[in-house]
Amino acid sequence: MKKPTPPGPRSLDLSRRSFLGGTAAAAALASLDASASPGGQAPPVNTFELEEVTLSDLQTGMREGRFTAHGLAERYLARIAAVDRVGPMPLASVIELNPDALAIAQSLDMERREKGARGPLHGIPVLIKDNIATADKMQTTAGSLALVGAVPSKDAFLVERLRAAGAVILGKTNLSEWANFRSTRSSSGWSGRGGQCRNPYALDRTPSGSSSGSGAATAANLCAVSVGTETDGSIVSPSAACSLVGLKPTVGLVSRSGIIPISHSQDTAGPMARTVADAAALLTVLAGVDASDAATAASQGHTGLDYTRFLDADGLKGARIGVPRERFFGYHAATDALVEQALEDMRSKGAIIIDPAPIPNLPRLDEPEFEVMLYEFKAGIEAWLASVGARTKLRTLADLIRFNEENQDAEMPYFGQEVFRQAQARGPLSDAKYRKALAACRRLSRSQGLDAVMRKHQLDALVAPTQAPPGLIDLVNGDHWLGSSSTPAAVSGYATLTVPAGYVRGLPVGLSFIGGAWSEPTLLKLAYSYEQATRHRRPPGFIPTADLRLVAGR
């Protein structure tokens, strides 16, 4: 959804052994126990052989014989064991590990020796969000205890593409439960299954959401890259909060089949990575036309591309960049200061800055967007429940509401399900109220919104702060939310990309590049040029709380 999600380090419903996934991860579990230091403090986590390595680094290492896929999977599993569930403030970014990960990696090593590599993801350890279906020994639950045991009959289309590319799916990441579409006062990163995910830059801070675990795990170097999903902000928000590159593609570029839905008008999956180049490489694999997702038919001509070909260190030269200040600036002075510096950095690289370049109709998007989400969630979640059939007794949204009530201590210890109840009150997608809201969303966000401002100023992209630095986790009141720039691209279904822009008191701030439909090549080019000129990303320190003596930088 659009703002982050839930809190509280709750124990998993699974046993510790089944959480880590059987034999392969049993050694990782033993490592976790052995590495816990006296007094319950987390062990040092700043020494890791693979810290901040890129996909290119890993492929070079495997090609030269310094790494194997099996060895990489072992290292990342050990890293997860040493970091993710240790100490009084666990990161809790990984909800479940794949018990077959090491065996898959070993078979990919053999294939590399006999046939060569399939491509840039061959043997690469990847984590995916726990609302993306895998037909294997892992669960697909959206973080909810309600779906434990309801294993899908087939992989999500994007999972099929990852497997075909030779990726090793290490496991599933924690998330804001139901992708943050259950309560208006949730805490980002909390789920009934996974507990409270934390921000590795300061463990008492939100990882944001809803792709909270994907963001925290990638930032903490628990995987090479990860996959998140977004309806409004759920990729770019946790990416900004964790100093990552996060790309929310144009709706239809990446298939949604096999992903637990919120809104078929806005839902998409996308890459989360530590560099723009890695995000481009992952997008290349994720993008594809899927007969099971009609929206992907429009992506013909935009799939089958190698998105890394658009990376250009001089990509900002001559680019026309608009600055939509209304609603996107002014809610946090230190964030504004970092973005003003970013504008100067882009000018120094030859960009033409059009300032201001307001997006029309922004205040008019909120009400129809939420109305569309309520209708589409009810229809979409009931279609999902039907798709898992006999593997669950739950068939309707009303069944999920009842399950939460009957399991209140585990599922609603901190916040309720008022959004579920609002969705339950909606009718079918044939309702005139739904059709009117959907038409308003498309008109106001597209022809009278992003298309209008970009056409008026002949823009390549718009830039704005992604959001303020991550706030404190608050299980009593929920998220403290100041503002963000995700909504125009979310409602229109267009592309947006966030990239690290610096730090405020050691806490990450992201800069969003917002484009039109199928603008991924342009956004990657611009973001790569900015990234190469500034190189803001730094690995996290896993400190208990932010160092308030700092103002900017780290």
Indicate the pairing of strand 190-191 with strand 195-196.
antiparallel
Angle between the 101-115 and 23-35 helix axes, to the nearest 10 degrees? 120
Question: 519 an active-site residue?
Answer: no
Q: Which residue out of 3, 129, 172, 525 is catalytically annotated?
A: 129
Q: Which residue out of 188, 212, 226, 234 is catalytically annotated?
A: 234
Angle between the 366-388 and 432-442 helix axes, to the nearest 10 degrees? 120
Indicate the pairing of strand 168-173 with strand 245-248.
unpaired
Contact (Cβ atoms closer than 8 angstroms) between residue 505 and residue 547: yes
CA distance 534 to 501: 8
Query: DSSP class of residue 487?
Result: H
Q: Which amino acid is at 80?
A: I
List, in sequence order, every residue forming a beta bridge with 14; answer none if it has no partner.
none
Q: Which residue out of 186, 188, 210, 226 is catalytically annotated?
A: 210
If 0-12 CB within 10 Å is exposed, 13-18 middle and 19+ buried, where does residue 33 land? exposed
List, in sequence order, every residue forming a beta bridge with 512; answer none if it has no partner.
464, 498
E-strand stretches of 291-383: 320-322, 352-354
Q: How far is CA 303 from the centre of its chain?
A: 21
Residues in contact with 209: Cβ distance below 8 Å, sequence separation at least 6, in sequence order: 3, 4, 5, 6, 175, 176, 179, 180, 188, 189, 234, 237, 238
Contact (Cβ atoms closer than 8 angstroms) between residue 369 and residue 446: no
CA distance 376 to 395: 16
Place of tokens 């077959």: 100
Q: How far is CA 329 from the centre of its chain?
A: 23
Question: 186 an active-site residue?
Answer: no
Question: 210 an active-site residue?
Answer: yes
Angle between the 23-35 and 69-83 helix axes, to the nearest 10 degrees? 40
CA distance 292 to 277: 29
Q: Which helix (H) or strand (E) holds 492?
A: helix 487-492
CA distance 333 to 243: 19
Peptide bond into 210 cis (omega under 30): yes
CA distance 52 to 218: 9
Which of 230, 267, 264 minimizes the C-alpha distance to 382? 264
Indicate which residues carry an active-site annotation: 129, 210, 234
